[in-house]
């Protein structure tokens, strides 16, 4: 993850983490979905966190959260 974040910073890229398969783990004290710009979680039946269907996208960046494409 350190290398991915380094490359993203160098080229001004946004990171979307597929965090669902890592629920419950940590990387250097950080939880999945908290290291990139967005974290994506699936709740589909074959995943770790199951609700039947759906998912969520999380971010702690208010500017990106409010951004809209027109």
Q: What is the pLDDT of residues 25-40, one digit of tens each?
A: 899 999 989 999 999 9
Helix (H/G/I), strand (E/B), else coil: 42: strand
- Which pLDDT score, from 0 to 100, does residue 62 have? 87
38 and 20 Cβ atoms separated by less than 8 Å: no
What gap in Å lies between CA 44 and CA 59, rounded to an integer? 21
Q: Is the pTM of this model over 0.85?
A: no
């Amino acid at each position: 993850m350190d290398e991915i974040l380094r490359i993203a910073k160098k080229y001004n890229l946004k990171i979307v983490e597929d965090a669902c398969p890592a629920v419950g783990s940590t990387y250097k004290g950080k939880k999945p979905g908290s290291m990139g710009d967005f974290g994506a979680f699936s709740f589909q039946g074959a995943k770790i966190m199951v609700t039947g269907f759906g998912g969520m996208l999380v971010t702690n960046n208010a500017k990106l959260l409010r951004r809209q494409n027109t």
